[in-house]
Structure 1
Amino acid sequence: MPGFLAPLTRTVTYTRWLHLLCAAVLAFVCGAVYPGLSSPSLREWVLIYVVPVPLLVLAAMLPVVRRAEGLQARLMLFPGGHARVARDGAEGGVSVTPSASWRDRARTAAWLVLRLFLGLTVALLSGQLMAVVIELTGAAAGRPVSTVSLLPLPTSGLWCLLLVPAVLLVLLYVVEGAGRLSARAARLLLGPSPAERLAALEERTERLLERNRIARELHDSLGHALTVAVVQAGAARAAGDPEFTDRALAAIEETGRAALEDLERVLVVLREAEQPVRGRPTLGEADRLLDSARASGATVDMTVKGPLETVPGPVSREGYRILQEGLTNVLRHCGAVPVRIALTVADGRLSLDVRNGLPAGAPPAAGGTGSGLRGVRERAALLGGRALAGPVGDEWRVHVELPVV
């Protein structure tokens, strides 16, 4: 099909035509009351355009009108699956939220008036061009038809039929152009306000932060479990001792069970967006991390100073994950080496210090520099704290400070 005919085959062209004709209904109703539709003069046609304007401006003051107009615009100016989805209030560039400010009401009023003028003009042109088609058809049949057409037309001749397609094409292209103009005006006048754009951006940011948090939870929990399982399995195979193998399998079983519990909690959050995360481990349960690391052959010593039970729940839970990631890095990058952990609660801060020896000949980055430490820094930053990681002499150190007040 030729490209210039393509717009005439699109459904949206005709839904936009209907949308414009619906806007003209109010003008004709008001015109029937005043000044009347019986052979109106030019001055009376101007009144037909103007009389409904105050009513539309008053209607635009109602917040719900903006929502109704946005839904109509989506459905008829932008038909398709996207036009019927209103998750962020701005699909297709058209908002479906009620007016929240006088600026929104003013834009809605401008849209209603523009839609009235454009719709009434398209309705009049449609009526005139359809009248021309009827007169040309009657003239070709030798039966002249008297209509309301204002254009001078031939009264007889079969050649009049040749003009009918041209008139219909003119009508459809007028409708197509008016529909495009209406769609652009809808995006401009019914589009999201700056406040709505900011709210949508904040909501998107919150979703991304939640996804990052879940990704960190999975990385820390499953990464720790898999690291312990790999280290334990390797040590058991190398030892060749049935008793050691039994202890290794028990440690793998316990760590795997804890990882499954963590995974179930995360899946609950994914299934139910408003479901809070419950039962996440805190620093009070750090012993199970130490036991799993010791079962892998590492020597782990931890000292606790200060009232650990006074640490707020969110800080304690994040501290647990940070400690878990620290121990995972030790086992993954350094193996069974001595580890010293210091937990201190003092001066309104929780200090977590993890130090481990670096194997002989290991590079300075043997303590890990990847996504795990990046997650540690992100967790600390979200709580208003800070995290440092790097070699100190012949040791690798992870030091985190979190506010607790």
Structure 2
Amino acid sequence: MVRMLRPLTRAVTYKRWLHIVVAIVWPSLWLFVEEAWWTQVTAAVLLGLAGLVPITRVVEGFQARLLLIGHRQGGGDSGEIVTTPSVTWADRGRTVVWLETRLVLGWIVAHLSVQLPLLAVDLATTAFGTEPAGDGFVPVKGPHWWHALLAPLPLLLLAVVVVGAGHLTTALAKRLLGPSPAERMAALEERTEQLLERTRIARELHDSIGHALTVAVVQAGAARAAGDPAFTDRALSAIEETGRTALEELDRVLGILRESEKPVSGRPTLVDADRLLESARTSGAKVDAEVTGPVDTVPGPVSREGYRILQEALTNVLRHAGAVPAQVRIRVTGDTLVLAIRNPLPEPISVPGRGTGGGSGLRGIRERAALLGGRARTGPDEGDWQVHVELPLS
């Protein structure tokens, strides 16, 4: 019983009732001026014409969200009712059906909201021997004492009508004022883009911050092992420079998170590869780099991803192999960008600053290459560890 009465304690039940009854306010005023059947037919025609106006769906959508959706549900259900103008004739048709349905439901619920309490009053008065007012749609003959037992039934029926009509109207609103298939597809594509952007930002943080931390750890470990004040001074300078670069990169990525419309043109490209190579050299790696072809003509997306691939490869050299010779080849030939990084396989001994990885960096390299339509090979090759990536420029 308590569960059945619980909807009557919620404000949204009465807001929905208000939403239903409001639909017949202006037709009712017209009916008072001219009591004729054609006034309601005219009202239905005018509503149909209004539903063809694109902005009508915006007004109805905001009204439905405000009155039909409860605060507890607002986070999830409100998105099922759109507040954008009608674009297609199908959207306009659904808006017309919604307006006409509101009109019919409004008349039914408003009529019962008046007549059922009147019926309850008539039953109560005849139970005590008083003549009924006779204004109800169900005639009550009396007096009969047992009418007192029937008096609560119209009120219970009214509660059922109010709650049921509210749920029905909300369901119809989601159906008729909800997004069209094209709008659902657009929302799905937007959601996909957001997820891809989050993945890209996560990869950006992994590459840039991971590289900086690896360089700092390797430099600190090498300085401690060397015991040379001059080397320690150079290592601290390298850690300072790397940390400053990492902070700039972190600030840029956080800026993208704060401002979704912020352009990504500030991301480094292969033109800035010298900075990576110098960072690896100051960390102790003996980098032999060779650049062939016009790197500055590589398209922006390819150049940016190429920079991240090179950064991840050099990070892995420092993390897993330490201060070893590394060969870096960057070639722009025809319509292909080739990145080749090789270094001797690390010996299974403890090296200061060397860590172990979970393979997410190599997976990121392969994912970047695949997204650009290229391919990547990583793994042992003739006693060396190689990262060989080919990216199309078209």
* Per-residue Cα deviation, 1:140-199 (whole angstroms, up to 9, x for no partner): 666545242121224446765554332211111111111111111112211111011011
Confirm or deny that 1:399 pairs with 2:369: no
Q: Does 1:370 align with 2:362?
A: no
- Measured against aligned partners, the alpha-carbon deviations of 1:119-159 in whole angstroms (never above 9, x if no partner) come to 11111111211222333454466654524212122444676
> How many Å separate the matches in 2 of 1:399 and 1:218?
23
Verify the 8 A CA contact 1:27 1:120 in the aligned structure 2. Answer: no
Q: Distance in 2 between matches of 1:148 and 1:404?
A: 83
Determine the structure 2 residue equivalent to 1:24.
Answer: 24
Does 2:294 correspond to 1:294? no
1:382 equivalent among 330, 353, 371? 371
Q: Which amino acid aligns with 2:236?
A: L
Q: 1:2 to 1:178 in 2, by over 3 A?
A: same
CA RMSD of aligned residues (A): 2.5
- TM-score normalised by length of structure 1: 0.88
1:204 to 182, 191, 214: 191
In 2, Cα distance between equivalents of 1:54 and 1:30: 14
Equivalent residue in structure 1 for 2:329, among 336, 342, 351: 342
Pick which of 256-265 and 389-398 moved more. 389-398
Q: Which moved more, 1:107-116 or 1:270-279?
A: 270-279
Question: What residue in structure 2 maps to residue 61 of structure 1?
Answer: 52
Q: Distance in 2 between matches of 1:29 and 1:102?
A: 31
User: Aligned in 2, Cα 1:162/1:180: closer, same or farther, shift over 3 Å?
Assistant: same
Do the aligned residues in 1 keep the contact of 2:116 with 2:155 (CA within 8 Å)?
A: yes
| Distance in 1 separating the partners of 2:335 and 2:358 | 29
Q: Which amino acid aligns with 1:104?
A: D
SS in structure 1 opposite 2:86?
A: coil
Aligned counterpart, 2:228: 241
How many Å apart are 1:295 and its aligned residue?
2.0
Q: Does 1:78 align with 2:69?
A: yes
1:100 equivalent to 2:90? Answer: no
1:158-307 paired onto structure 2 within 5 Å: 160-307=147-294
Residue 135 of structure 2 is matched in structure 1 by: 148
Work out the CA distance in 2 between the residues paired with 1:302 and 1:259: 23
2:340 alignment partner, SS class: strand
State the one-letter code of the partner of 1:110.
V
Q: For residue 23 of structure 2, what is the amino acid of its counterpart?
A: A
Instruction: Kindly provide the amino acid, as one letter, of the partner of residue 31 in structure 1.
Output: L
**Distance of aligned partners of 1:9 and 1:369 in 2 relative to their CA distance in 1, 3 Å threshold:** closer
The offset of 1:80, in angstroms, is 1.4
Deviation string 1:24-75 (CA, Å, 9 cap, x unpaired) is 2244244345553xxxxxxx4xx66544221121111001111211222121
Give ranges in structure 1 of 5+ residues lacking alignment: 37-43
Specify the code of the residue in structure 1 equivalent to 2:251. Answer: E
Q: 2:199 & 2:384 partners in 1: Cα distance?
A: 30
Shift of 1:293: 1.4
Alignment of 1:111 with 2:102, yes or no, is: no
Q: How many residues align?
A: 389
Please list the CA deviations of residues 217-239 of structure 1 after superposition, one character each: whole Å capped at 9, or x if unmatched.
11111100111111111111111
- Aligned residues of 2:132 and 2:140 also touching (Cα < 8 A): no
Taking structure 2 as the reference length, the TM-score comes to 0.91
Work out the CA distance in 2 between the residues paired with 1:57 and 1:239.
85
Distance 1:331 1:401 in 2: 23
Deviation of residue 325 (structure 1)? 0.6
Quick one: distance in 1 between partners of 2:255 and 2:2? 54
Matched letter for residue 362 of structure 2: L
Structure 2 unpaired stretches of 5+: 350-354
State the alpha-carbon separation in 2 of the partners of residues 401 and 26 from structure 1: 70
Matched residue type, 1:79: G
Aligned residues: percent identity?
58
In 1, the alpha carbon distance for the partners of 2:358 and 2:120 equals 77
Q: 2:308 aligns with which of 287, 302, 321?
A: 321
CA distance in 1, matches of 2:297, 2:105: 68
The residue aligned with 1:40 is: none
